[in-house]
Every structure is written in structure tokens, then in C-alpha cells.
Structure 1
Amino acid sequence: MAEHPAYPVGLRLTGRRVVVLGGGQVAQRRLPALIAAGADIHLVSPEATPSVEAMADAGEITWTRRPYADGDLADAWYALIATGDTDANTRASAEAERHRVWCVRADDADAATAWTPATGTSEGVTVAVLTTSAKGRDPRHTAAIRDAVVEGLRDGTLVAPHHRTRTPGVALVGGGPGDPDLITVRGRRLLAEADVVIADRLGPRDLLAELPPHVEVIDAAKIPYGRFMAQEAINNALIEHAKQGKSVVRLKGGDPFVFGRGMEEAQALAEAGIACTVVPGISSSISVPGAAGIPVTHRGVAHEFTVVSGHVAPDDERSLVDWAALARLTGTLVVLMGVDKIGRIAETLVAHGKSPDTPVALVQEGTTAAQRRVDATLATVEETVVAQEVKPPAVIVIGEVVGVGPGTVEAPTE
């Protein structure tokens, strides 16, 4: 038998009896997949790990608390033998052979009638890697191959074209704060499958260079008609391309719903009857301070953090921010889009009771190779911004947490 390769097959175990012998680490690793497959799982073991016991307590498996006994594999479709008793494993394996039950044996793969492949999933596809024969079995090698394939599918570096018709639609993808490595796995995969990408100026621009030549890239920052018409033009572009049956990705900086007008775009798509998928992204409000060595919360220093938009000044009638209330908070205040308004913001906070000595940090081009951090206080921040020529995009952090970290963290390099 060992001279012939194993025959790969996918077992459909929904509602079918599966017997697991042994409640140790092997069972702990294998049980979740069997549960996900919908199997009727019967565990036979005098003891189990806390995680396995929790599965039994939750009703996901049935646990018989005793050692293996002859007859336990009767009526089973599949068995996993993973006890620490070699004699019991041998007897159970023999029973599986008598009852023609496909059996995986953790302690002796050569004595088993089935092997468990190294598996991983990506968007409805299961990748299973199996050594072709017992001779030369190398579980670490098969696991490494599995990891490489799954990672490639997830991050878009390994792209398999769809041969069935895809449902056209739009994905609002949060690209993160700027470093291309900080986009989510799902976001990167959707980018790799896109026909059209409509990209923000603050999105991870380096990812655009990885797109195939046929992908149409539209720079949202250059859509005409001015500031207030730009959003309407973006909405129209999303709708137009999706109605042409194309897969469209709206690549946005940070998270689509954190000052990103993502909901406006989702609403426009819904009104047009176009399917929309939202892929959350890492918001610059927490990731950029973290990259600069600033925790937005810290035990004994800040028990809350507040994120506000600074694109309109505190004395602007359009402002929806209660700056007086923010001045009374003892936690961290993170201001986005506020570089050119920071003088009036600082003045307002101080006027409502915030100490002029409150630390302030401005992190420009956070998470990119151009990242730099400039520190000040509420009393000095306006003149510091001018003197240091701080330019947008920059995240402003106000609060005692500014002094907690180790100082400026070295920016990523190419």
C-alpha cells in the first residue's frame, strides 16, 4: 500500500457519525474543522484539554468520559485515533478496518487508512496539500506549501481567474494609513480581482503598481467639478462601471467610515440597486500614533480616546464638535484633518479649561517612509507647526499619552 500514492478526496460529513478517540492536543487541533463540516462528533476519552471540554460543554461534540472500548467505531463514517495508548490505538485501528471506517491514526500514519492533509481556506476555496506516499512524508513541508498557496490567494499575489460569471458590484475597501502592508488580507485580494479601481490620494498608492495592466485605475483626487461636486462624480463613476458588469474597488485611505464618506457612497450604490461590500480598514486615528510610539490609551493615564475631525474650525458654524466637552475629558484626543486649524483648536481647548502644558504630537505621513513626529504643547503647537513646516496629512494627538512612549519610532524604510 505504501508504494502507491494516496487518493485525495473531500469527505461530506454533515450529520454523519465521526468518532474521535483521545481529547488531547491533536483532537483540539482537528475538532474545529470537523465541527465546521457539520459532523455528528463523538469523543471517547477519559480526559480532555480545557478547549476540548469547552466544545463539549457548548454542545458541539458528545463526550463519553472513558477509554476506548471495542465497538466504539460501529456505524462511524470516519475516525480520528489520537490517544496516548499505543495498544488502544492499534485495537481501534483494527476495528476501523473491520467496519470499513476511514481512519486517521495520529501515532502511526503508515498504519492508517486515511491521512489528514494540511489545509487552509480563502474565500470559499479549501487548499489541501497531501504527501503522495508514506515514504518521505514531511508534514512541515506540506504545511509550508499550504501556507504559501493560501497566503498568495489571500493577499492577491497568487491570482486564479474566475471562469464563471461574477456578480458585478463595488467593494469599499479601507486601505489603511498608507503602508501597503497594512491593508487587510481581504482588501488586497479584492484589489487583485478588480477590473476598475477608484483610488483616493491617501490610499496605499504603492499597491496600484501591483495591479495587472488591464485594470483601469481612476484617481479620485483628480475627478473634476470642484470639492463639493467631487463626491457626486465619484458616486457616478462607481455606479457607471458597476452597471457595465465590472468588479469595482473603491480604495480609500484608513477606514471607509471614519471621515471617509464611505456611507455616502454606499447609499448612492444602494439607490442605484448595486451590490456593495464594505471591507473595514485600519484607521489612521489609532495606527499612526501607534507607529510613532504613542498609545492612544495607557493604564493609569488614559481610559478613553476620542477621534474628531478638524477640517472646520471650532468657531465655524458648520462644526458639529462639542469642543467645550472635549476640553473637560481627561483621556486622549485624536484630531484628523486639523493641521491648518490646530491653532484655533488649541486656543479653544485652553479657553474651556485644558492646561496649556498639555502635550501634543503631530505625526506626518504616518506609517510611510516619510513619517516624522513633531512634539509640542497646546500653548506652542501653532508656532511649532509653522516653524517645523508640518503639512497634511498628519494625525494630531493631544494628551498625556504623548509622553508615555519611547519617543519617535523609526519610520519604515523601502
Structure 2
Amino acid sequence: MGHHDDRSKARRGLVALGGTPARQTGAVWLVGAGPGDPELLTLKALKALQAAEVVVHDGLVSDEILDLASANARRISVAKRKSRHSYSQDEINRMLVAFAQDGLNVVRLKGGDPFMFGRGGEELEAVRAAGIACHVVPGVTAALAAGAAAGAPLTHRGAAQAVTFVTGHAAKGGEPDLDWDALARPNQTVVVYMGLSMAAPIAARLMAAGRAGTTPALIVENASRADERRLKTTLAGLAEAASALKGPALLIVGEAMALAQAGDGQAAIENLLKEARA
């Protein structure tokens, strides 16, 4: 009889000491929320979000997207805030692991794409090292949305045979350490993420390496959102143009940006610049 009981328990699932069923380990989903417009979410991202029991999200993820999660899901913001504790990357990694070990389905919701300057690779490594399943759902990265809205192709057969994504943030602050000679070659598009505050040194470095100051450039603030603003300029004018915006914004430099359509905020921004010069 005892053997029969053990076998029936085994069929029903694992039994922990004390007679209570053992909780199964959960999983972590690294999900790209896209650039802000909820309609640019992928169907897979939406399904993952709806199935989440815990949503750990960045500050740039819009409320409209967060509201697509289950009403019962616990939401945790790990945005950097001046008024409260900011979570370090190690703390975020530990949080994801701990929730999954508690048997919960965790979505780490990140702006844009998890693997495009989003530290998704670090989170993937940490979760896998803990022996937990980690799934990745790609998202529309901001550069694609910025180019689409402006009608400015990031690659173009006649003007841009390559596109390079770089970050304007250095690991320890200050100027980013980039291959300026490679970025200064003509007929390519250079997209700088998080580069608004470093626009002046970035433009100076590109021109010093040989990129023409007349090269068309585009700055896009809040790509795909209702308050998106686009400003057409040139590489030589990039620093001054960037001074009129607050971000988050992308800097895009390249011959194909000549095709860009300025946004509604162009005239207002140019007026601000004229006032600043006066």
C-alpha cells in the first residue's frame, strides 16, 4: 500500500519534505517594449506581457504599454530616480532570479530592444547562470522608428551602404571611446543612442576624422511618441541643434538624412535657437 501511495504521489507531481507540493521554478522573459508607441509592440511581446506575474520595467516604458499587463501582475519600476534608491544592474539581476526561483513568470520590460544598449545581455547571463530559463523577445529599436517617422532610410542604395549604431555614453562617463576614423567614412549612416549631451564632442571628433561638416544630420526626440520632435541640421550644426532639446533623443548623421522630413517642432526649436543667439 505504501509503495502504491508513493507512486500516485509521484504521478501527481513532486512532493517536498513535509508533504507539500514543491514549487516549480519560474522563467524570465526579456521583452522589448519598442520605442513608445504601443502599436509598435510585437504580438509576442503582448502575449508575454499578458502572461506575466511580475513586470520589472524601465522608466521609459509608457503607461499605455504597462496597462496591457494583467491587472494582477506586480509592477516594479527600476527607473533611475533622484528622489529614491536607484537599482544597480546587479540588484536588478538578483531581483529577476529571486522572483523566478519563487516560481513566478517574470517579464523584464525594456524600452526598444533588449539587446540594443539595454544591458539585456548582462541580464541573460545572470539568469542563465542561476539555472533559470530565459527567453528573449526582440523589440523595435528607436533608430528604426525615428527613421520611419522622418521618412529617412537608414540604408539607401545610393547614399548609405552601411549603418552603425553606437552609444554616446562612455562606461565611466565622459567622451565615448569609438572608432572615429571608421565612423567618419562617407556613404554610411551613424546612429548615436543617448548622445544628446555629448553632441558637441561627437560632432567635433567626426569632423576631425574627416567627415564633412555639410553632412546631413537629424535629431529625433521621443521617437514614435505623441510628443516626438525632429530637427534637421548638419554635422557642423549638430551641437547647437542638440542644445535646444532635452531628450531622450537620437543623433543620426549621414547622407541619407537629406531625405528626412522635419517634425512639427522644427520651427519652434529654430526660434529657440535664434533667441539664444540674440
TM-score range, shorter chain: 0.7 to 0.9
**Aligned runs of 1:209-288 on 2, under 5 Å?**
209-222=67-80, 226=86, 230-288=88-146
Following TM superposition, by how much is the alpha carbon of 1:379 offset from its aligned partner in structure 2, in angstroms?
A: 1.4
Mapped partners of 2:31, 2:264: distance in 1: 28
Using the TM superposition, give the Cα deviation of residue 166 of structure 1 relative to its aligned residue in structure 2, in angstroms. 7.9
In structure 2, the residue matched to 1:188 is 46
Per the TM alignment, residue 409 of structure 1 is displaced from its structure 2 partner at its CA by 5.8
Deviation at 1:285, TM superposition (A): 2.0
- Where in structure 2 are the equivalents of 1:33-52 lying within 5 Å? none
Q: Does 1:346 align with 2:203?
A: yes
Quick check: 1:395 aligned with 2:250? yes
For the pair 1:372 / 2:226, whether they are aligned, the reply is: no
Higher relative contact order (CA 8 A, sep 6+): 2
Q: 1:408 aligns with which of 262, 265, 274?
A: 262
Tell me: CA distance 1:352–1:276, structure 2 relative to 1, closer, same or farther (3 Å).
same
**Residues 307, 333 of structure 1: 8 Å contact kept:** yes
Q: Cα offset for 1:316? A: 4.9
Asked if residue 311 in structure 1 is aligned to residue 164 in structure 2, the reply is no
Query: Quick one: distance in 1 between partners of 2:258 and 2:213?
Result: 15
TM-score of the pair, normalised by structure 1: 0.55
SS in 2 for 1:187: helix
Q: Deviations over 1:309-349 (max 9, x none)?
A: 11139x957x4421122112421111111000010000011
Deviation (angstroms), 1:219: 0.3
User: Identity of aligned pairs, percent?
Assistant: 42
Give the letter aligned to residue 351 of structure 1.
A
CA deviation after TM superposition for structure 1 residue 167, in Å: 6.0
Query: Are residues 243 and 180 of structure 1, via their aligned partners in 2, closer, same or farther at CA, if it must alter by over 3 Å?
Result: same
Whole-angstrom distance in 2 between the partners of 1:222 and 1:276: 24
CA distance in 2, matches of 1:167, 1:367: 37
What one-letter code is carried by the residue in structure 1 that aligns with 2:196? V
Q: Deviations over 1:21-45 (max 9, x none)?
A: xxxxxxxxxxxxxxxxxxxxxxxxx
Q: Which runs of 5+ in 1 are unaligned?
A: 1-164
Superposition deviation, residue 361 in structure 1: 0.6
Over the aligned positions, Cα root-mean-square deviation in angstroms equals 2.2
- Give 1:410 deviation, angstroms: 6.9
Q: Note the residue ranges of structure 2 that are not aligned, 5 or more in a row.
A: 1-22, 266-278
1:331 is matched with which residue? 188
